[in-house]
Amino acid sequence: MGKKKTNKIYLIICGIAFVIMLIVLFSEGIDNIINALLQLNPLFLVAAIACMVIYWFGEAIGLHLAAKSLAPETKFRTTFLVTMIGQYFNCITPFASGGQPMQVYMFMKRGMPLGSAMTALLSRFIVYQFTLTLYSIVFLVFRLSMFTDGELKPLTFLVIVGFIVNTFVIVLLFMLAFFQKATIKLAHGIVRLLGKLRIIRDVESKIEYIDKELATYYENFMFIKSQPVMILKMFLVTVVQLLVYFSITFVIYIGFGMTETDYLTIVACQAFVLMISGFVPLPGAMGAAEGSYAAFFKGIFGDYYTGVSTFIWRFLTFYLPILIGIIINLRMTRSGIDLSNAEEKLKEEQ
């Protein structure tokens, strides 16, 4: 199945998920939904949208710091366009795996060398993942104990699993960088074992491919190590970016005129939802994101506002980037840039 057709299927799945969310929302009664929405201060809805825009700009600024150091002629508008393309394809693909190839391709179409584009995106990914892991540790230490009893106890296990997955990713990234020989030996051993189990057929070609990828990663990480000031700036930007993202629900909460729950608890709940969603193999972690959000925030928003707040949060953080991404993708196609074939063209370049 071609990549273009696969992405269309993912978009259809996202559309079906949106319809299901609306059906669930309106099952609470149209009058109740309308009355709940009328209680929301419009200024706070605008503020919530602004938080999402700030999140996008934070992502673009973080990426631009790396892109600019590798290709000084790179314009911020290019990086912002690349960022929004990444947001779109991350939303519609499992494990947010579709964004990076498209971003590399777009950077190349704007004149950046392949190696520079890959290094910039890797730098951004490592810093983002590291910052997210630090936030996870803070929230687990200060707020997890509030949710270990009662109805949320099963979710606590999922939060911990999500934290372990995030931590494993960052540990693996650093292991690849600082223990290159050991990592290569381990990778070779795993491939040969899979070969003996007949899971992998052409063992030697797989080993050759892994060696090439690890060598590229190691070279990229050497660049990252040589830029401590840039990495620090990226880290500080990401700290603010993620905090603004985690604050979206708090803005919605006070927009409904509620003040009983403190800021740190709401932000922690939002982070826990992200931890759970991170290892669900569906575009945008559909179902898991909405379900865990509603579960965590039901006791905070109450039955009356939970459905509406879930819809607003999900629309801003998932469906809005998809809508913007569709518009950008259509414009790219009209200008002669076909993103559906980006991965194949990148393989040709490599």
Task: Please state the pTM of the whole predicted model.
Answer: 0.90
* pLDDT for the residue numbered 318: 94
Q: Output the tens digit of pLDDT for each of the chain's 350 residues.
A: 556 678 788 888 898 988 888 888 888 778 888 888 899 999 999 999 999 999 999 999 999 999 999 999 999 999 999 999 999 999 998 877 778 889 998 999 888 988 889 889 999 999 999 999 999 999 999 888 887 777 788 888 889 988 998 888 888 888 887 888 888 888 888 888 888 887 878 888 888 888 888 888 888 888 888 899 999 999 999 999 999 999 999 999 999 999 999 999 999 999 999 988 887 878 888 888 999 999 999 999 998 899 999 999 999 999 999 999 999 988 888 887 777 666 666 665 55
d(CA 21, CA 27): 10
Res 114: pLDDT: 86
pLDDT at 63: 96
pLDDT of residue 333: 81
What is the rounded (10 degree) CA torsion for 177, 182, 184, 190?
-120
pLDDT the model gives residue 343? 63
Nearest by Cα to 40 from 264, 297, 338, 252: 252
Enumerate residues 6+ apart whose C-beta is below 8 A from 326: 11, 88
* Residue boundaries of the structural domains of the chain: 3-349
Residues counted in the chain: 350
Looking up tokens 């740190």 gives 264
- Is 57 exposed, middle or buried, given 0-12, 13-18 or 19+ CB atoms closer than 10 A? middle
